[in-house]
Amino acid sequence: MFVIFNPFAARATPGTSNQPVKTTPISSPYADGQKAKPTHTSTVKPQATPTKTVKPTPIPTKAVEPTPTPVPVVALVNWDNATSVKYTINAVNVRSTPYTDGAIVSTLEAGAEVTIYGSINGEAVSNSPIWYRISDQNSNPEYIYSGLLTTEKPAPAPAPANSNANCTGTEGQMVDVNLSAQWATFCNNGKVDNSFAITSGQPDLPTPTGIYHVFNKQSPTTFYSPWPVGSPYYYEPTHINYALEFKEGGFFLHDAWWRSTYGPGTNVPHTDPQFGEMTGTHGCVVMSTDQAGWLYGWAPMGTTVNIHY
């Protein structure tokens, strides 16, 4: 048997043992011929917690209201035991309080009949503080200054010379309308009860002539145009305070609150000083609201209406 001596065989050192060799990790970017993938350390930034802004509670600002103008102290009305009648001397304003700065409720024409319910001390005008209450206790207050009223009924306005109105010999009540003079006279058993200017139909829509009788009375009412929209004669639905129909087809005696003047020249194109350009009516006979109100109470059903030139 041959023993082969290997001079390179490792000799064991007595008292020592073979320990595993600790190696230092390779930090080179290349290991085993492969490019190492660098390890990135992700730095997590702490998320900022939003700071809540605390808004101060608003302090309510109290609005400073203007000091109201004191309303005049109105004395108590001295109510009359019975009503009385007076007449306006000139055109007058009816006011909501017995003061000249009171709201204007309406305006009455000269010679208008006014019912007096009582009197009250108000603003002194022309050295007198007396105002008349012309509305009853259940209605809104209406006042007229005492110096603007009279107990004497004014004479009717004289008819124009060309009115041809003659009440002599007439029986009952009759309305005489002269289209040439643009004037109406109101006869009552041979005498004149009233007389004033009117406006009649425009040239294209004249007021019919003849003798008629009132057969329909309406207060208030609304007129609707018989002409279609687009027609030169069309008009919007119109409120009417007093209407007396005298001929079939919608021919009325009525108020025309949208006019300020009546009489000669108002039945043809003209300029109204208050309402501008206009012409005559659609065939009706019109007057002021106060006059129409008087006529409505004066003329019973069946009243004769004589229309002529």
Catalytic center residues: 254, 284
DSSP E strands, 44-202: 78-88, 92-95, 104-108, 113-125, 128-133, 143-145, 149-150, 173-178, 183-188, 191-197
- Return all residues near 158 (Cβ < 8 A) that are at least 6 apart: 195
> What's the rounded Cα separation, in Å, for the pair 91 and 111?
8
Q: Which residues of 62-71 are buried (b: 16+ CB within 10 A; e: fewer)?
A: eeeeeeeeee
Instruction: For residue 286, give the H/E element and its range.
Output: strand 285-287
Q: Is the bond leading into 220 cis (omega within 30 degrees of zero)?
A: yes
Write down the residue that tokens 């002599």 correspond to: 168
> What's the rounded Cα separation, in Å, for the pair 96 and 83?
19
Q: Which amino acid type is present at position 172?
A: G
Of 128, 39, 134, 30, which is closest to residue 79 (Cα–Cα)? 134
Joined tokens for residue 245:
């129909």
Of 289, 286, 262, which is closest to residue 274 (Cα–Cα)? 262
